[in-house]
Amino acid sequence: MTVTTRREFLAGAAALGFASAWPFRASAAGSLTAAIYPGTWEEAYRGVLAPALKKSADIDVAFDSLFAVDQVAKVRAARGVPPFDCFVLDPGPAASAMQAGLFEPIDASKLTNAAKVPAGLITSHAVTCNAQVVGIAYNPKKFATPPKSWADLFKSPYVERLGLTGFQTTFGTVSIIEMAKVFGGSETNVEPVFAELKKAVEKAAAVAAPAAMPGLFQQGQIDVMYTNTNTVAILKGRGVSIEFVKPETGAITFQTTLHIVKGADNVANAYKYMDMAISAEVQGALQKQPYNMIPINKDVKLVETLDIKSVDELTKMVTHDWTKINPQRAAWIERFNKEITK
C-alpha cells in the first residue's frame, strides 16, 4: 500500500500553480513522512515507533510503504521535490542512493542515543536501526545432524529438501555469494556456484520467490533454506520446528539503515524519528515477538528468541561490499531466473 503524502499533494499542487492554497507549510512542526518496508516492518514501526515518537516529541509520522529499490526510484523521479523525509534501506539500495547523492549528511551530535550504538553503525550519511543475520535454517526433526556449511546444501540428504531462491533479496544475494566462495568464487565472481546450482536444481525440493520460502518451510514442502534469523524467529513463534545454523565460514550480517532524504523538509523531526528508532525503548520492543528485530542499542538485553547472544557478535560476522556487488546484481538476477528458475 502506498500512502499519498502531503508532499505528493504539494508536488501536484505546484504543477497546477496553486501550491500556496495548501493550508500547511511544508516544514510544519510535529510531523514527518518516512518510507517503510511493507509487511512486518510497517507493522512494527506503526505499532511501536510512531506511538513512542508521538508520546515523547508530539510528532506524527506519515508512512510511505515501499520496498527499498522503489524508495530510491521514487526519490530520483521526484527531481527536487522529496516525496518523504527518511529512507529505510538495505546496503545494496543504500549504496546506489549514496552514489546518486540522495542523502543529507548525518550530524550524530543531534542523536541523543548515538553513544548507545556500536562504533561504525552511524556514518556520515546513515544511521543503522537494526541488524540482520543470515545463515542456514533447517528442520531438526528431519535430520540427525544439521548442515554445517554452505557446501552441505548441495549434498544429500539436504539438497533433496532444499528451497532455492535467487538474488532478488539482500539475504539471497549474500547467501549465494558465500556459496560461490566455497566453490572457488568471490564477492564479484559467482560463476562457480551457477554450475552447482544447475546440478542442485534437479534434486532440490523447490525453487521459488524469496517471499514464498517461509510458507514452504511451514507447510513442510522444504526442510532447508538460507534465510535470516528474523524469519527463523517468526516461524518458531508459530510453532514450526526450525533451527538456525551459522555456517562454518561464519554467519552473514548486514545492517538496515535510516537516511535523511536530500532536500527533506522536516530535517529536525527526521533526527527525532531516527533517534527514537535507535532508543533502548523502541529497540527493546522490536526484538520481541512478533517482530524479532536484532537490536543495535547496547543497553538492550537480548531476548532468548534471537539467535545471537550479544550485539558485539555482529562485528565478527561476514559482510559484503555492495559498491562491488551492485553493478553485477541485475545480471545475476536475470541469469538465475533464466537458468535456475526457468
pLDDT at 79: 86
Please report, for residues 185, 187, 210, 256, the alpha-carbon distance to residue 321 in angstroms, rounded to integers and kept in the order given.
15, 8, 22, 14
**What is the rounded distance in angstroms from the CA atom of residue 176 to the CA atom of residue 148?**
16
278 neighbors 113 (Cβ within 8 angstroms): yes
pTM for this predicted structure: 0.77
Q: Which CATH architecture has domain 31-131+254-316?
A: 3-Layer(aba) Sandwich (3.40)
Q: Where in the chain is the domain with CATH 3.40.190.10?
A: 31-131+254-316, 133-252+322-341
Interval 201-222: pLDDT, tens: 999 999 998 889 999 999 999 9
**What is the rounded distance in angstroms from the CA atom of residue 161 to the CA atom of residue 206?**
8
Report residue 104: phi and psi, to 5°.
Answer: -85, 150
Fold for the domain defined by 133-252+322-341: D-Maltodextrin-Binding Protein; domain 2 (3.40.190)
Residue 217's CB: how many other CB atoms inside 10 A?
A: 27
Query: In which region does residue 87 sit, left (phi positive, over 0), alpha (psi from -120 to 50) or beta (all else)?
Result: beta
Interval 162-175: pLDDT, tens: 999 999 888 999 99
pLDDT at 22: 35
For the chain, state the CA radius of gyration: 21
pLDDT at 29: 55
Output the nine-digit C-alpha cell for 266.
522536516
Closest-CA residue to 153 (of 135, 132, 133, 171): 135
pLDDT at 230: 83
210 neighbors 168 (Cβ within 8 angstroms): yes
Identify the segments of the chain with pLDDT beneath 70. 1-29
Report residue 253: phi and psi, to 5°.
Answer: -130, 150
**What is the rounded distance in angstroms from the CA atom of residue 175 to the CA atom of residue 117?**
26
pLDDT at 25: 37
